[in-house]
Amino acid sequence: MSAPASALASIEEVRAKVEQTYLAWTRYRHFSQEQVDAVVEAVSGAARTHAARLAEMAVAETGYGNARDKLAKNMLAAETLPQRMRSMHTLGVLNEDREQGIVEIGEPMGVIAAILPTTNPTSTAIYKTLIALKSGNGIVLSPHPRARACTCETAALLAAAAEQAGAPEGIVGCIGGSTIESTTELMRHRRTAVILSTGGSGIVRAAYSSGKPAFGVGPGNVPVLVDVSADIGHALENIIRGKTFDYGTLCSSEQTVVAERSLRDRMLAEFRARKAHLCDAGQTAALERLLFTKDFAICPDCVGQPASKMARMAGFTVPDDTPVLLVELGGIGKEHPLSAEKLTTVLGLYFVEHFDAALAACEAVLHFGGLGHTCGIYSSDDQRTREYARRMPAFRVVANSPTSLGSTGATTNLFPAMTLGCGAVAGNSTSDNVGPLHLVNIKRLAYGVPSVAPAGEQMTREQVIGAVKRYLERRGMTPATVPLAHARGSATAGGAATTASPPATPVAVVDFVCEDDVRRAVRDSRKIFIGPKTIVTPAARDYANMHDALVMTEGPRPQGRLDSE
């Protein structure tokens, strides 16, 4: 059966856009770090200028979340992210280790295929475009079908800003008629270098099975432990703040709060003081039926909705200013559906007998659809905080801060990101907050090291001198400028060495010193006299420094100890 005309048209659009972006990238890849940084600054500036309008477009088109918080997400990508990237080197020489003879050189990957979600359509477009451009790559965006207009508008603004800053035309592309078929074509296209996939588990699996390198992220089901040592009021204030942020659309939003039973009455009182609504058994059952389909998927109409609307959809009413609907759970797992990820303003509560049981409950929540993603804890006991962090199978452990905001770097110093890797435990290729250096291949220039005589053969003194000389020259030093240690009392108060007074009788100045020479001199309680052209091995220098075994007898004033540089 042939594909429908719309699917064929979208596939052709993908092919044209990818080829155009690839052609642009063949020029962009040769931009200097300064040129790339200028493009990134221009693009982030355009994103900031239009951030509010794009946020409103996203809410109007998708019906998810609210414009105020979508603006905050846009600004995380358009302002906080560029600030963190400003001093970052991604191209050319990234690092040089003279001692090891290794030079690391950043190389861009090519065309990035970016699959976008419906929950964060504009902020993720800004974020992925900026990290792609910063790393010297081109990018083609594939919007979610329910967010095409706002995503394509975002891409058009970013592309125009990039081109005005000198980037080649087509370096940022967007698929206007995105379909399942076009997304598959984008991921498998011969010009696609790597995939950045954000969305449901199905699209993430498709990315990893495409035959291309991919950064896909797993779902989140975030537990938050409130410890007996926590500031309860502060903890619940932050939990509500995190859960209500964009009405729970972030995968790192708080899903289930776990605490010891001794805290139950106090916590419920504190929640009520903040206008949260505790559902009764009938309301809880109604929310279970509303939120999940028969195959245990989240009902799309419930994603990113305010608590008052969720209550009406479930058949009961709460005041319009209710921030969250609280549901007390009897356990964790499929028998308790509301212990799963909810992506809306419904928050689970689970009370247990002691701290060890709380750890086990949080671990169970993560195993129930959130492996590798994010968890949180509120505690003033750092030993318990660290025990929690060590035990949880999650790669972002947010302490005393909202998990939705802390995981993305908004309220912590984690790298600002909208793609949060969940590691091998979740089938992901990274556990990091994905940034530009994930989109760079690192080339290594490795200089040869001095050869060592084969076992059983002894190197001559001349061979040793030659090898050491080559080693020192590779480190940028010559025998005439190698800083050396001097006899006790031969240094000034500031640490600079001075030439020793001429000895009363003539001495032999050696041209090479190894560690064995120093050890013999120390054993015999004598000094080794050296000149400015004497080669001293590093091991000999270190041992001589401890015993003041070397004396400079002639030549210009040396520069001081090598180990002080």
Q: For residues 44 and 37, what is the distance between their CA atoms, to the nearest angstrom?
A: 10
Identify whether the C-beta of residue 370 lies closer than 8 Å to the C-beta of residue 423: no
- At 452 the pLDDT is 56
More confident residue, 559 or 506: 506
Is 362 marked active-site?
no
- At 26 the pLDDT is 98
Lowest mean pLDDT among 126-130, 152-156, 334-338: 334-338
pLDDT at 456 over 70: no
And the tokens for 558? 């040396």
CATH says 222-408 is which class? alpha beta
Closest C-alpha to 254, from 274, 225, 216, 297: 225
- At 428 the pLDDT is 87
pLDDT at 165 over 50: yes
pLDDT at 390 over 60: yes
Name residue 328's amino acid: E
- At 147 the pLDDT is 95
pLDDT at 492 over 60: no
Q: For residues 207 and 187, what is the distance between their CA atoms, to the nearest angstrom?
A: 7
And the tokens for 296? 């245990």
- Is domain 7-217+438-443 given the CATH code 2.40.50.1020 in the classification? no
For 21-79, how does the pLDDT look when each residue is reduced to its tens digit (9 = 90+)? 999 999 999 999 999 999 999 999 999 999 999 999 999 999 999 999 999 999 999 99
More confident residue, 249 or 458: 249
Whole-model pTM: value is 0.80
Lowest mean pLDDT among 22-26, 178-182, 274-278, 473-477: 473-477
- At 198 the pLDDT is 81
For 64-121, how does the pLDDT look when each residue is reduced to its tens digit (9 = 90+)? 999 999 999 999 999 999 999 999 999 999 999 988 999 999 999 999 999 999 999 9
pLDDT at 438 over 80: yes
CB atoms within 10 A of CB 35: 16
Work out whether the CA dihedral 160, 164, 166, 169 comes out positive or negative: positive
What is the residue extent of each domain of the chain?
A: 7-217+438-443, 222-408, 461-564
Q: Is 342 exposed, middle or buried (0-12, 13-18, 19+ CB in 10 A)?
A: buried
pLDDT at 348 over 50: yes
- At 137 the pLDDT is 98
- At 508 the pLDDT is 79
Q: For residues 528 and 5, what is the distance between their CA atoms, to the nearest angstrom?
A: 88
Identify whether the C-beta of residue 310 lies closer than 8 Å to the C-beta of residue 287: yes
pLDDT at 491 over 60: no
- At 472 the pLDDT is 67
More confident residue, 480 or 332: 332
Q: For residues 144 and 151, what is the distance between their CA atoms, to the nearest angstrom?
A: 8
CA 406 to chain centre: 13
Task: Label residue 366 by pLDDT band (50, 70, 90).
Answer: very high
More confident residue, 461 or 395: 395
Tell me the average pLDDT across 328-333. 96
Work out whether the CA dihedral 412, 415, 419, 423 comes out positive or negative: negative
Task: Label residue 371 by pLDDT band (50, 70, 90).
Answer: very high
Q: Residue 174 forms beta bridges with which residues?
A: 141
Task: Label residue 476 by pLDDT band (50, 70, 90).
Answer: low
pLDDT at 485 over 70: no
Question: What does R_g of the chain's alpha carbons equal in angstroms?
Answer: 31
- At 532 the pLDDT is 82
Residue 132, helix vs strand vs coil: helix
Mean residue pLDDT of the chain comes to 89
Q: How wide is the angle at C-alpha 135 spanned by C-alphas 13 and 188, nearest 5°? A: 35
Q: For residues 281 and 295, what is the distance between their CA atoms, to the nearest angstrom?
A: 23
- At 168 the pLDDT is 98
- At 162 the pLDDT is 98
DSSP secondary structure, 68-94, as one string? HHHHHHHHIIIIIHHHHHTT---SEEE
pLDDT at 537 over 90: no
- At 498 the pLDDT is 39
Lowest mean pLDDT among 125-129, 273-277, 295-299, 310-314: 295-299
Give the pairing of strands 138-142 and 102-108: unpaired
Tell me the average pLDDT across 191-196. 95
Task: Return the percent helix, strand and coil in the chain, to nearest 5.
Answer: 45, 20, 35
Task: Label residue 295 by pLDDT band (50, 70, 90).
Answer: confident
More confident residue, 520 or 324: 324
Tell me the average pLDDT across 197-219. 79
Tell me the average pLDDT across 400-421. 96
- The reply to whether 222-408 shares the fold of 7-217+438-443 is no
CB atoms within 10 A of CB 15: 16
pLDDT at 480 over 70: no
- At 474 the pLDDT is 65
DSSP secondary structure, 420-470, as one string? B---GGGT-S--SBP-GGGGEEEEEEEPPPPP-PPTT----HHHHHHHHHH
- At 457 the pLDDT is 65
- At 335 the pLDDT is 93
pLDDT at 477 over 70: no
pLDDT at 186 over 60: yes
Set 174, 251, 279, 375: catalytic member: 251
Closest C-alpha to 536, from 525, 524, 550, 523: 550
- At 551 the pLDDT is 86
What region, left, alpha or beta, does residue 317 occupy, with left being phi > 0 and alpha being psi -120 to 50 degrees?
beta
Identify whether the C-beta of residue 512 lies closer than 8 Å to the C-beta of residue 460: no
And the tokens for 238? 């932050």
Tell me the average pLDDT across 194-212. 80
Q: For residues 486 and 9, what is the distance between their CA atoms, to the nearest angstrom?
A: 79
In the chain, pLDDT over 90 holds for what percent of residues? 70
Residues contacting 264, CB < 8 A, separation 6+:
351
Kindly report the backbone phi and psi dihedral angles of residue 214, in degrees, each rounded to the nearest multiple of 5, phi listed first.
-145, 145
Identify whether the C-beta of residue 496 lies closer than 8 Å to the C-beta of residue 483: no
pLDDT at 501 over 70: no
Task: Label residue 7 by pLDDT band (50, 70, 90).
Answer: confident
